[in-house]
Amino acid sequence: MSVPVCLVPGRSSQRAGLASLLAALITALLLFSSNLAGAASALQKTQVPGYYRVMVGAFEITALYDGYIDVDSKLLKNASEQEIRSLLARIFVKGPQMQTAVNAYLINTGQQLVLIDTGAAKKFGPSLGYLIDNLKAAGYDPAQVDAVLITHLHGDHVNGLVTPEGKPAFANAEIWSAKADNDFWLSSEVAAKAPQDAQPFFKMAQDAAAPYQQIGKWKVFAADGEIVPGIRSVAAPGHTPGHSAYLVASNGQQLLIWGDLVHSHSVQFSRPEVVIEFDVNKKQAVATRKAMFARTAKEKLLVAGMHLPFPGIGHVRSERKGYAWVPIEFGPIRE
């Protein structure tokens, strides 16, 4: 069978075919490389919302991130600077600044919505004051909060009680705090005797309490006892006179929210005797920390802390002469 002449490529048409193939290849290569260059997308530079949930029995616990503050490790006492530096180096922190989270915890008991602490608002700089944003991102509204339980009356825990206009941020909530803290931070006599550099602490506590005192919603509890069904206060004095933890219990499960028992997880779990400058009674703070570490490790109790890395929920394990922090792992809600 003979091939039609027109289908047999001649030399010139062979060259033309090769040239167009080459051109197509070059175009494809150019397109490919320009696609590669064009793959660059704008950086998002946003973080996930600062909330995280776990269940404790039938109670839904939402950890809320207020933000962070860089704390100077030189404020830690009862260990040499060298020892502190080497403990920070174990978690790859150069120091002297330590990134320190400020957390709060929202508990939906099914009957009531209870917030433990309220963050620093905007009074400690721009890296804090995100609690309300994160509470809303978590699906709640400040007006839904029935009760706010305060671990102690330091500004990074109570400033968030008040809006920038000086109004209650939680319009429908009763606020509960320990008598011993009220007697200290809200007392003009105690404030008058305190040194000048401590005055802002007193003012922040008084500014946070005032709008609620005016409407009769500032409540005081005497000592250990149930505040809301399923939530008990546990005296943990030292950091402040009325510093309180809260034990949350539902259907046989428990969570101990321990406030400011720990300011530096890298240092104080292995060295519980290390205190921070802001501890009002340092000796008592050490005794409380040691007792609470021993109890939580022994009972394998789930704990949460306001200055532990967010969400600040986990367990305490005995280790050598001290303890170690074991954070929970990210996961879906499991009942």
**Which residues between 308 and 327 bind Zn ion (CB under 5 A)?**
none
Q: How far is the CB of 196 from Zn ion (least distance, A)?
A: 21
Binding characters for Zn ion, 131-160, by CB under 5 A (x = yes)? -------------------------x----
Q: Is 196 exposed, middle or buried (0-12, 13-18, 19+ CB in 10 A)?
A: exposed
Which secondary-structure segment (H or E) carries 157?
A: helix 155-158
Q: How far is the CB of 306 from Zn ion (least distance, A)?
A: 6
Q: How far is the CB of 37 from Zn ion (least distance, A)?
A: 49
Q: How far is the CB of 102 from Zn ion (least distance, A)?
A: 7
**Using CB under 5 A, which of the segments 3-11, 103-111, 260-268, 308-316 binds Zn ion?**
260-268
**Nearer Cβ to Zn ion (156/181):** 156
Q: Strand pairing partners for 175?
A: 148, 218
Q: Among 115, 260, 264, 268, which residue interacts with Zn ion (rule: CB under 5 A)?
A: 260
Residue 163, helix vs strand vs coil = coil
**Using CB under 5 A, which of the segments 75-83, 186-194, 243-251, 253-261 binds Zn ion?**
253-261
| Residue 123, CA atoms < 13 Å, CB-side half-sphere | 24
Q: How far is the CB of 260 from Zn ion (least distance, A)?
A: 4
Strand runs labelled E in 45-146: 51-56, 59-72, 76-77, 97-108, 113-116
Q: How far is the CB of 259 from Zn ion (least distance, A)?
A: 7
**Nearer Cβ to Zn ion (118/182):** 118
**Nearer Cβ to Zn ion (66/260):** 260
**Nearer Cβ to Zn ion (153/169):** 153
Q: How many residues bind Zn ion (CB under 5 A)?
A: 2
**Nearer Cβ to Zn ion (60/117):** 117
**Nearer Cβ to Zn ion (59/184):** 184
How is residue 254 written in tokens? 């428990």
Query: Are 156 and 259 a contacting pair, CB within 8 Å?
Result: no
**Nearer Cβ to Zn ion (239/271):** 239
List the one residue out of 113, 172, 120, 111 whose CA is nearest residue 138.
113
Residue 117 in contact with Zn ion, rule: CB under 5 A: no
Q: Strand pairing partners for 71?
A: 98
Q: How far is the CB of 33 from Zn ion (least distance, A)?
A: 54
CA 87, distance to chain mean position in Å, is 21
**Using CB under 5 A, which of the segments 56-64, 112-120, 259-267, 283-291 binds Zn ion?**
259-267
Measure Cα distances from 330 to 115, 199, 322 in Å: 22, 41, 26
Q: Strand pairing partners for 221?
A: 178
Q: How far is the CB of 272 from Zn ion (least distance, A)?
A: 17
**Nearer Cβ to Zn ion (230/305):** 305
Strand runs labelled E in the chain: 51-56, 59-72, 76-77, 97-108, 113-116, 147-149, 174-178, 218-221, 225-228, 231-235, 244-250, 253-257, 275-276, 302-304, 313-319, 322-327
Q: Catalog residues that contact Zn ion under the rule CB under 5 A.
A: 156, 260
